[in-house]
Structure 1
Amino acid sequence: MPAHHPLSSPQPRPETTSTGVVLDARLVLGEHESVDIPVRLGYRGDDPLAVALQFLGPAAEAGTWRFSRDLLWEGLQKPAGLGDVRIWPPCTCHGRPSLRIMLRGVDNVVLVDLPSRQVRRWLRRESFTLVPRGSEDTLIDWTAELDGLTR
């Protein structure tokens, strides 16, 4: 059995290439109005920097949003994001135990609340196991990416 240094990061598991979880979310319609909707959070080892938030069921027309996995993790701890995707951690002082994500499109803004414990658990047990934090860039073919940009 090979020696394992306690500070070394585990390598990505090659037999697993993606992971996802379906969550019961709430689409915020107004200050005191929301509707329950299913969403799917997904992560792929071949796109190691991003997660996908896919709206399911009646909200499927909202499509799939891709944004930084690090942004999602950071948003669990403190307000994060500056552009089209912003994330706020649970705020128990205002009675909101959920993770709130704002998605800004061309014509509208969508607020969705996700169960923060389930998101955190999925990131830790699934996503970070598939590709450990900090090792994402080792899975990107930078030469191919640069070639694609210069064509």
Structure 2
Amino acid sequence: MNSFVHRTLVMQLQAGTADRFPVLAHLGYDAEDPFAVSAVFSHDGRVLARWRLDREMLADGLRGPVGVGDVRMRPESTDRWEELRLDFFGDPRSDGGHHHAAVFAWAPAIASFLEETYAVVPPGREQVRLDDFLAEVIAEG
């Protein structure tokens, strides 16, 4: 069985009060890191941002608001379809606020991606190799 899931989706990016524009989102899931989903956002061949998202938080965000701090998610309904809104907060600005971008994804596409990850590692069956983790921490320390 394949231990990696990859999906490329077109999402909509909105920074500040500007209109939305399309970006590619490359989502990845690896059974070796069972709690995380990697997200790489790109436009015109340039990487705009890389994030590691919590898989459970991503699923919970389809049902209701989740997150505090740098990453927050919530479902949003438009007259066109159901979306997942991902809010990313970055470095501080000179006015005391933080840089902020919102990304909108078609909720059924996110749900489908998550279902593929559940086929690799079902929710609640994630395992952390504690010995490997401790060795990595000690090596870095």
Distance in 1 (alpha carbons) for counterparts of 2:80 and 2:66: 20
Distance in 1 (alpha carbons) for counterparts of 2:74 and 2:81: 10
RMSD (CA atoms): 2.1
Q: Which has the higher helix share?
A: 1
Query: What letter corresponds to residue 135 of structure 1 in structure 2?
Result: R
> Residue 10 of structure 2 contacts residue 105 of structure 2 at CA under 8 Å; is this kept in 1?
yes
> Residue 54 of structure 1 contacts residue 60 of structure 1 at CA under 8 Å; is this kept in 2?
no
> Residue 40 of structure 2 contacts residue 47 of structure 2 at CA under 8 Å; is this kept in 1?
no
Largest Rg, 1 or 2: 1
Per-residue deviation, 1:70? 0.5
Match of 1:135 among 125, 129, 132: 125
The alignment-based identity, stated in percent, is 27
- Is 1:80 paired with 2:66? yes
Identify the residue that residue 133 of structure 2 maps to in structure 1.
145
Q: Which has the higher strand share?
A: 2
Matches within 5 A, 1:20-35: 20-31=6-17, 33-35=19-21
Identify the residue that residue 91 of structure 2 maps to in structure 1.
106
Distance in 2 (alpha carbons) for counterparts of 1:39 and 1:67: 13
Distance in 2 (alpha carbons) for counterparts of 1:96 and 1:24: 15
Question: TM-score scaled to structure 2, two decimals?
Answer: 0.83
SS at match of 1:98: strand
Question: TM-score scaled to structure 1, two decimals?
Answer: 0.78
Identify the residue that residue 30 of structure 2 maps to in structure 1.
44
SS at match of 1:134: coil
